[in-house]
């Protein structure tokens, strides 16, 4: 089997590439290595993962942009069985500062990939799109909540399903550009018969994640605490997310590829059993690291959902899949990786 991973130097992309390389597949890893620039990181981030993938003899790395149509044409004409499209601009803040570039990468870039499949490879290639819970926008925030000691809790539900309304709400440019790609992926599946899995992801975390304040908050908190740097909490810290370790996510991708389903839209994350608030996570890290961090509080950020927990019943049922790695075990894995590489974050 031949697999294309776009955004292969990202955390999700690098784990997907590694997964299929270990299965003895031929893997094409595509990335433009611009993530460090997006987040203003003064050291390399995705470059670490890019070099990590070099150790696999069956991974062919191509430094290129998904907006490079000639490059995509060449790749898909060579024959691809599975395309996992993780390439994206992932920062809400960046999208607000530069919505045109955000749209160019997330929406136009996704359309380029889909069109390349349609023109050169549609009878053979399955497509997996990494969407986001941000497609639901602030509609999630309209759900009534109650406030407990350490977290906000939904009053009338336990999690957000794929039936959540998407329209007539604020999304942020990032949410809009990702939803545009989501819709194109749905239509290309329906109109052109491309086997397509759309995964609306909650918080994905794991080893080889370079956390920033704007994206990858679990890793960002660990990096900050180990580096004795203050952590800024936007809001009161009781906001809740469900979190999923990256290898569990990649297993879901593979389950869809091997499944009977021609297309599907799935909310995916750790679910209610793997949900945690910001302050609960900090308390967990205090115990695991024996560090008491400096905490600063700032005003709420635009479109920041107080609670988002994925209803994963559909993906569990359809793909015979469920999370295997608990929050505590996954955080231990991430701490070990950051600790080994902590000199990289100074």
- Evaluate if residue 39 carries a pLDDT over 70: no
Is-contact 307 147, C-beta < 8 A? no
The pTM of the full predicted model, rounded to 2 decimals, is 0.96
* 296's tokens: 């600063």
- Evaluate if residue 346 carries a pLDDT over 70: no
Determine the pLDDT at residue 342: 81
Q: What is the mean pLDDT of residues 86-107?
A: 94
Confidence of residue 212 (pLDDT cuts 50, 70, 90): confident
Determine the pLDDT at residue 43: 60
Percentage above 70 pLDDT, the chain: 97
CA–CA gap between residue 320 and residue 340 (Å, rounded): 35
Q: What is the mean pLDDT of residues 339-344?
A: 85
Determine the pLDDT at residue 252: 98
Highest mean pLDDT among 10-14, 302-306, 340-344: 10-14
Catalytic member of 19, 20, 174, 245: 174
Is-contact 27 5, C-beta < 8 A? yes
- Can you list the pairs that 110-115 forms with residues at least 24 positions away whose Cβ atoms lie under 8 Å? 110/66, 110/85, 110/180, 110/181, 110/184, 110/185, 111/181, 111/184, 112/66, 112/67, 112/69, 112/72, 113/6, 113/66, 113/72, 113/83, 113/85, 113/87, 114/184, 114/185, 114/188, 114/194
Is-contact 270 242, C-beta < 8 A? yes
Q: What is the mean pLDDT of residues 212-236?
A: 92
Number of CB atoms found within 10 A of residue 19's CB: 20
- Rounded to 10°, the helix 172-192/109-120 angle is 10
Average pLDDT taken over every residue of the chain? 95
* 263's tokens: 């297309």
Q: What is the mean pLDDT of residues 10-27?
A: 98
Determine the pLDDT at residue 344: 75
Determine the pLDDT at residue 345: 75
User: Which residue is listed with tokens 């601009």?
Assistant: 89
Number of CB atoms found within 10 A of residue 230's CB: 10
* 304's tokens: 């920041």
Compute CA 317 distance to the chain's CA centroid, rounded to the nearest angstrom. 22
174 catalytic? Reply is yes
Is-contact 30 6, C-beta < 8 A? yes
What are the residues facing 265 on neighbouring strands? 198
Q: How far is CA 205 from CA 127, 134, 305, in A?
A: 22, 17, 18
- Rounded to 10°, the helix 327-340/278-289 angle is 60
Report the range of poorest mean pLDDT among 16-20, 169-173, 178-182, 240-244.
169-173
- Evaluate if residue 42 carries a pLDDT over 70: no
- Evaluate if residue 230 carries a pLDDT over 80: yes
* Alpha helix stretches (DSSP H) within the chain: 11-22, 35-38, 46-53, 69-77, 92-97, 99-103, 109-120, 172-192, 217-226, 246-258, 278-289, 313-319, 327-340
**Contacts of residue 222, Cβ cutoff 8 Å, sequence gap at least 6:** 211, 285, 289, 331, 334, 335, 338
CA–CA gap between residue 123 and residue 193 (Å, rounded): 8
Domains present along the chain, CATH in parentheses = 2-345 (3.40.50.720)
What are the φ/ψ torsions at residue 334 (nearest 5 degrees)?
-70, -40
User: Which residue is listed with tokens 């809740």?
Assistant: 240
Q: Which of 88, 65, 60 is nearest to 4 (CA)?
A: 60
């Amino acid at each position: 089997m031949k697999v294309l991973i776009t955004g292969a130097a990202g955390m999700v992309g690098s784990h997907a590439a590694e997964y299929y390389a270990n299965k003895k597949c031929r893997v094409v890893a595509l990335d433009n290595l611009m993530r460090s620039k997006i987040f203003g990181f003064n050291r390399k981030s995705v470059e670490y993962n890019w070099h990590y993938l070099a150790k696999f003899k069956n991974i062919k790395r191509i430094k290129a942009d998904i907006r490079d149509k000639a490059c995509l044409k060449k790749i898909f004409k060579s024959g691809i069985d599975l395309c996992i499209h993780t390439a994206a601009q992932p920062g809400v803040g960046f999208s607000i500062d530069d919505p045109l570039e955000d749209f160019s990468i997330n929406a136009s870039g996704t359309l380029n990939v889909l069109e390349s499949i349609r023109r050169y490879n549609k009878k053979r290639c399955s497509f997996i799109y990494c969407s986001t819970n941000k497609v639901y926008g602030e509609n999630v925030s309209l759900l009534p909540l109650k406030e407990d000691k350490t977290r906000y809790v939904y009053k009338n539900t336990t999690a957000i399903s794929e039936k959540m309304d998407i329209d007539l709400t604020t999304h942020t440019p990032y949410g809009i550009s990702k939803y545009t790609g989501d819709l194109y992926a749905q239509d290309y599946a329906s109109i052109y018969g491309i086997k397509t899995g759309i995964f609306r992801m909650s918080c994905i975390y794991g080893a080889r994640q370079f956390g920033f304040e704007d994206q990858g908050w679990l890793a960002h908190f660990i990096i900050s605490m180990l580096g004795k740097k203050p952590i800024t909490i936007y809001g009161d810290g009781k906001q809740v997310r469900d979190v999923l370790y990256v290898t569990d996510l990649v297993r879901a991708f593979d389950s869809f590829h091997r499944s009977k389903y021609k297309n599907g839209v799935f909310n995916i994350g750790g679910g209610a059993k793997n949900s945690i608030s910001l302050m609960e996570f900090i308390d967990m890290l205090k115990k695991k690291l024996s560090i008491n961090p400096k905490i600063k509080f700032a005003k709420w950020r635009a479109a920041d959902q107080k609670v988002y927990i994925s209803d994963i019943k559909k993906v569990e049922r359809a793909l015979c899949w469920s999370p295997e790695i608990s929050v505590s075990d996954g955080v231990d894995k991430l701490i070990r990786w950051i600790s080994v590489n902590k000199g990289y974050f100074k």
